[in-house]
Amino acid sequence: MFDRALLLTLVLLSCEAQNGPLFSIVDSKRRLVNDKTKLPIVQQVPQVSRDLSLDLKDMKLPTFISDNDRVELTDQIISEFNAGLDNEDITFSMSDLVKKYGYPIEKHQVITKDRYNLSMYRIPNNGSAVFLMHGLLGSSDDFAVAGPESGLAYLLSDDGYDVWMGNSRGNKHSRQHLDLDPSQSAFWDFSWHEIGCYDLPAMIDYVLQATKTSKLKYIGHSQGTTSFFVMASQRPEYNSKISLMVSLAPVAFLTHVKSPILRLLAPGNPFFYSITQSLGVNEVLPDNSASRVLRRLLCGVGALAKTICSNIVFLFLGLDFGQLNVTNLPVLYSHIPSGASVKQFVHYGQGVVSGDFKQFDYGDITNLDLYGSNVQPLYNLQNVTAPVSMFYSEADWFTDPRDLNKLYKRLGNVIDLYKVPYEQFSHLDFLIAKDFKTLIYLRLRKLLRHA
């Protein structure tokens, strides 16, 4: 019963909810659960996830969120967050943000084979081209929002690389199509499969042509790795255009994913997708009333919950307080999330249920018409021949080491496997960690120099 209520709440993540029956239902469900659990996220998730075979002893959930936020550091956290509210970076565009710190910036447009108009940003330099691809709900901003001391785009530029940052269809920088409008459902009929088959090839070809080179270095985070594996599997000719692929928190297999929301959503995937389609809900943009209900449901109502857990990205991907620059959170919140299609989430949910890396499941009838089989095909990872490096961590809610090991065995071309030497390192820390330079970039720099 609780699972279905949560699914209904998630359906409304991309539309404005009204103060009315839904709020009463959510409050009732939350009280029912809290009677047994007392803490919103820390103990509630184990209660509802037993039926999903989620091994909670392996989950490193944040333990500082409660209804009353009874944590010694709460006042300090709130103070640091408030101190960041005056940062002008909050109002800056991607271009203005990069210019502020003294770096040149260019904006480029590329049209995909299926007619989406994508934006790319470039910090030009004389070195070899490095292409950065963001994750789910992300954008090119992800690589600059941490600032010049630890932002990946800046660090690469400082080392002389010609930095290109991609934007997938549907995010805030790529909401254009030659024939369709974002108000139309057809515009959002894509998952990360289409991003891998159309967006990445178009952007990679553009970069190679602009730089007059035959190869580039690719760095992907989360979905930026998923879409790469799709591209290299479905369009294997692109392997020869990649001198090195670096996976920051690679995502392909999701059997052991720890994200509570994705685990709760996955079993109801067909129901969830059919409801969103019938309601005309195609886009996940969480800055609305329903997302605030979900935050209250999972995180509590205290000041700390409002500060840390108000961004839906943390609910999906987890949080490592030790590596979080709280003062920079207002800037992060102004640039992330950047939008995505419902279908991207549904496709990931299908992976949790199937335990494999497959194309989108449309149901028996459509599968038969589209794929020639009732069952959607696997991505052939043996086609991935470009050299791959994998960065992972034990506490990552999306990239579990057991799933990573399965991917490692399927690829057969991994030249480097690096476990971040920090126990609580989270999925987002691969972008925003305070110690990004020492924990990630030192290793990354060595790899790039020898690629």
Q: Please list the active-site residues.
A: 222, 427
Kindly list the distances between the CA atom of residue 32 and the CA atoms of 37, 44, 46, in Å, as whole numbers in the listed order.
9, 10, 15
The residue assigned the tokens 């944040």 is: 62
Q: Map residue 152 onto helix, strand or coil.
A: helix
Q: How far apart are CA 345 and CA 202, in angstroms?
A: 23
Is the four-CA dihedral 388, 392, 396, 400 of positive or negative sign?
positive
Kindly list the distances between the CA atom of residue 1 and the CA atoms of 4, 268, 367, in Å, as whole numbers in the listed order.
5, 12, 30
Nearest Cα neighbor of 164 from 227, 118, 230, 223 is 118
Nearest Cα neighbor of 263 from 423, 31, 41 is 41
Read off the tokens for 357: 């890396």
Residues 9 and 24: beta-carbon distance below 8 Å: no
Residues 141 and 338: beta-carbon distance below 8 Å: yes
Kindly list the distances between the CA atom of residue 424 and the CA atoms of 63, 248, 324, 392, 397, in Å, as whole numbers in the listed order.
12, 16, 11, 11, 10
